[in-house]
Amino acid sequence: MKSGPAILPYTLHAVLLACMLQACASASETKEEPAGNPESAQQGEETVQADGAPPAAAPTDAEVMYNVFAGELLGNDGNLAAAVSSYLQAAMESDDPAIAQRATRVALAAQSWFEAAMAADRWALLAPNDMAAREAAAATMLATQDYSGAELQLGEILKRNDDSDEAWSMVTTLLAQASDPRKARDLLERLIADNGETVNADVVFVQSQLLARMGEFEESAKYANQALEMTPERVELLTFSGRLALSMEDLDTAVERFGKAWELAPDNHDLGLAYADLLARQARPDDARKVMESMEQTPDVLLSRVLFEITAEQSDNARKVYAEFETLPTEDRNEKLYYQGQAAEAIGEPAEAIGLYSAISESPYFVPAAVRRAELMANEGDVDGALESLAAVRQRGNPQESEQAWLAEGRLLRESGQVQAAFDALGRALEDFGNSVPIRYSHALLASELGNIEVAEYDLRLVLEQQPDNPAALNALGYTLADQTDRYSEAEALVQRAYELQPDDASIIDSMGWVAFRLNKLDEAEAYLRRAWELDNNPEIAAHLGEVLWAKGEYAEARAVWAEALEIDGEHAVLLQTMQRLDAQP
């Protein structure tokens, strides 16, 4: 039902129509930026220049203009969902590509992907030679899993640009970001078959990327090597190939690829640090030092050098590098203080770190420094001072900063043994941040720790309403139900879903084992828990594995696992409680 125009008096409607006609006539003559990646409402100049797009005519339909104006008003009021609806309706009723383009941009800003795909499709229909329209349509269709629609748009990009390298670059960039790598690769193969493209390095590179995301690392490496033969000095490809080699535990190849990339881009600071890290892993500490020392000495490089020396168990060297902060020239005093504070923590000087964080003034570093200062103060026994510091952060009135401060307060109270106080603090936080997933999730974990299953389940189900595929929430709810209720089948389904989403997460594998134990599947439980223990020497996993072994009558093996865990943390509560409950000694 269309009731919009009846809302406005006729005379005002006529005035608005006249104004919008003039505005749209001007907008039609103005080149806007393309929609591009659906993750952003704005992009730079289009990769492939539009050619021959028909000029946009100013629409005259009153209904269209009402929806355009309504969309602008609603958007200015912050009601993006309603603005998207109004603009989409205008786009569908108008033959002006400028309105369809605007509808696309508004939908992207609202992260309304399906509406953005519809608007972008209309834009491409009205301006078939506009590559920005085709790019936006393909990107939004990939985001909404419409691979058939995306294939049509990508095919048109190639066709209308004579299979140029620029067109293939646009196509492969879009496909590399697709959420389903298998479908994206199948689509790419069809485009290659239809367009006869076999030797473009971008195409081969994206084939490698998609295969890697599918977990087919060996096949991915073949394509990466083929792409490197075509473009041997492409830094992005060298680093990708190096990361791929690491995934295949081929450290030598990873070092070689990162080393060559760094030679080509010696000013690439992140690349230099990554290369140094790989050299250290290859037991080449002197070479790693040389790389870091040859880099421009910035605060984060100095911190990396301090951490490297600590990892190498060279504490004297770490302190020597730390001393370089005092004479380090920098344009950003706050940045220097922030990294120096982290370095002070690393060398075991918490009081000095607190002082450094306290000296940071208003800047992007202020809030993270204030939060970390509070945590250090709590660790040093000044919990009240830490809470005052976090309260001061919340008084600044910034919602994101306040959320961080509440989470830090819950964390430091729990770590200081005040679980109930932590739970109460996050309960107060939820009064203002009821939709905050991190606060709700943390509140749930504290509720579970306190044995308040009803609150824990309520919180976690609210999280899952917002994020149905949140593996941490699925795992937490499943584990809680398995550990503290007899709803084992329900727990198994939840943890199984988390496992499907993150099959290599040690905490989820631990939950799979614990659910299996509750269902009396002892061999299955042992297999899961042994794998979890191999991935993460967490004493809680050892507590579970030992209990399964104990239930199987393998007492000596259980004691051996517990003894190993006690060496890691001799005061771990779950481990000690398990051994006490079973009347077992290591």
> Which pLDDT belongs to residue 77?
63
Q: Does residue 78 register a pLDDT over 50?
A: yes
Could you give the C-alpha distances from 210 to 44, 134, 219, 483, in angstroms and in order?
A: 25, 22, 10, 39
How far apart are alpha carbons 307 and 301 in whole angstroms? 10
Distance of CA 189 to CAs 155, 183, 199, 353, 527, Å? 12, 10, 13, 55, 40
Please report the DSSP string for 364-380 in residue order.
TTHHHHHHHHHHHHHHT
Q: Measured between alpha carbons, how far is 186 from 163 in angstroms, rounded to an integer?
A: 19
Q: What is the pLDDT of residue 3?
A: 36
How does residue 353 score in pLDDT terms, banded at 50, 70 and 90? very high
Q: Which residue has the higher pLDDT, 19 or 54?
A: 54
Band of pLDDT at residue 215, cut at 50, 70 and 90:
confident
Q: What is the pLDDT of residue 36?
A: 40
> Quick one: pLDDT at residue 116?
86
Alpha helix locations (H) across 312-418?
Answer: 315-323, 333-346, 350-358, 366-379, 383-394, 399-415
Q: What is the band of 71 on the pLDDT scale with cuts at 50, 70, 90?
A: low
Share of the chain above pLDDT 70, in %: 85
Q: According to the model, what pLDDT value does residue 69 have?
A: 60
Tokens of 278: 């790989």
Residue 10 has pLDDT above 90, yes or no: no
Residue 207 has pLDDT above 90, yes or no: no
pLDDT of residue 385 exceeding 90: yes
1-192 to CATH, choices 1.25.40.10, 3.30.70.100, 1.10.8.10, 1.10.3080.10:
1.25.40.10
Which pairs from 309-316 meet CB under 8 Å and 24+ separation? 310/346, 310/347, 311/280, 312/280, 312/285, 315/347
Under CATH, to which class is 198-295 assigned?
Answer: mainly alpha
Within this chain, domains 1-192 and 198-295 share the same CATH topology = yes
* pLDDT class of 376 with cuts at 50, 70, 90: very high
Domains of the chain, by residue range, sit at 1-192, 198-295
Average model confidence (pLDDT) across the chain: 84
Q: Among residues 492, 551, 550, which one has the least CA distance to residue 519?
A: 492
Q: Average pLDDT in the 364-393 region?
A: 93
Nearest of 106, 130, 252, 129 to residue 118 by alpha carbon: 106
Of 13-17, 317-321, 521-525, 538-542, the poorest mean pLDDT is in: 13-17
For the residues 440-463, what does the mean pLDDT come to? 95
Give the model confidence (pLDDT) of 20-66 as tens digits: 333 343 333 333 333 344 544 334 333 333 333 344 444 446 666 65
Taking residue 364's Cβ as centre, other Cβ atoms within 10 Å add up to: 12
Q: Do 76 and 87 contact (CB within 8 A), yes or no?
A: no
pLDDT given for residue 583 in this prediction: 87
Q: Render pLDDT for 238-279 as a digit per residue (tens, 0 to 9).
A: 999 999 999 898 999 999 999 999 999 998 989 999 999 999
pLDDT for res 50: 37
Residue 553 region by backbone torsions, left for phi larger than 0, else alpha for psi between -120 and 50, else beta = left
- Give the pLDDT band (50/70/90) at residue 1: very low
Mean pLDDT of 15-19: 31
Higher pLDDT, 474 or 189: 474
Whether residue 12 has pLDDT greater than 70: no
Q: What is the DSSP string of 162-205?
A: TT-HHHHHHHHHHHHT-S-HHHHHHHHHHHHHHHT----HHHHH
**Can you give the pLDDT at residue 31?**
36
Better pLDDT: 32 or 513: 513
Mean local confidence (pLDDT), 372-388: 93
Q: What per-residue confidence (pLDDT) applies to 51? A: 37
C-alpha torsion sign, points 142, 144, 147, 148: negative
- Write the CB contacts of 547 (distance below 8 Å, at least 6 apart in sequence): 517, 558, 578, 582
Lowest-confidence pick of 107-121, 304-318, 393-407: 107-121
